């Protein structure tokens, strides 16, 4: 597997300024990392997370065909498969996602799990875009592809920003759902447009509750 094969070189990136952000790490001189998997039952369906002792590899989203009803929307986010033997990064990911769905205010206090995916180890515009998104676009906010390109240092790369969003291996934590079209339309999303709309609505509602 590509991720497992690339779990070798050790490289710690510095923390981003002004908010808790994860490290991007890799192992040096070690054998291939042992990837672990877990499945979380969330309001938007089953989320499959994978990672090793070094960091989080991926969050895989289900495809939403219908919006969750009231009871489903208020459900928590709990591990339903793979709870035994979870690595520390997977535990941190689980805690963060639980807070995101159930207690959003806590996400700013919780550590974001370290990332260990080759896309986030390469020096590329995609990596720059994803880090910028994670650092600068907060819960309950939205940003256009064009504006994100500006923030990432290339105002002419709005189309490349769209490609970066499609490549994002860690959705929700790296919030590509907050990137929308300049017209205000939500645009495409890996989990489907319904999920993107639900996540944006969830954040808007929770932000309004926190304001009172």
Give the dihedral sign, CA 193/75/99/3: negative
Query: In the numeric block, which tokens belong to residue 126?
Result: 């995609």
Of the candidates 110, 99, 97, the one whose C-alpha atom is nearest the C-alpha of residue 171 is: 97
What's the helix, strand, coil split of the chain in %, to 5? Answer: 40, 15, 45
Q: Rounded to whole angstroms, what are the CA distances from 32 to 29, 36, 86?
A: 10, 13, 17
* 80 is annotated as an active-site residue: no
Residue 69: is it exposed, middle or buried by C-beta count within 10 angstroms (0-12/13-18/19+)?
Answer: exposed
Helix (H) or strand (E) holding 143: strand 143-144
Hunting for tokens 């969830």 — which residue is that? 202
Active-site residue, from 7, 33, 77, 176 = 176
- Active-site residue numbers? 176
């Amino acid at each position: 597997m590509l991720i497992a094969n690339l779990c070798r070189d050790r490289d710690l990136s510095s923390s981003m300024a002004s908010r808790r952000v994860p490290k991007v790490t890799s192992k040096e001189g070690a054998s291939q990392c042992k990837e672990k998997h877990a499945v979380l039952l969330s309001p938007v369906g089953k989320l499959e997370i994978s990672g090793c002792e070094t960091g989080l590899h991926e969050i895989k989203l289900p495809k939403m065909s219908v919006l969750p009803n009231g009871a489903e929307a208020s459900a928590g986010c709990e591990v339903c498969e793979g709870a035994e033997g979870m690595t520390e990064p997977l535990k941190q990911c689980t805690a963060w996602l639980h807070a995101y769905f159930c207690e959003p205010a806590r996400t700013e206090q919780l550590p974001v799990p370290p990332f260990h995916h080759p896309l986030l180890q390469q020096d590329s515009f995609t990596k720059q875009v994803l880090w910028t998104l994670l650092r600068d676009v907060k819960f309950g906010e939205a940003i256009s592809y064009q504006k994100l390109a500006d923030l990432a240092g290339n105002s002419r790369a709005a189309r490349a920003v769209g490609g970066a969003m499609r490549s994002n291996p860690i959705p929700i934590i790296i919030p590509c759902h907050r990137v929308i079209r300049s017209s205000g339309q939500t645009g495409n999303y890996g989990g489907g447009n319904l999920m993107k709309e639900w996540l944006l609505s969830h954040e808007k509602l929770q932000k309004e509750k926190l304001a009172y």
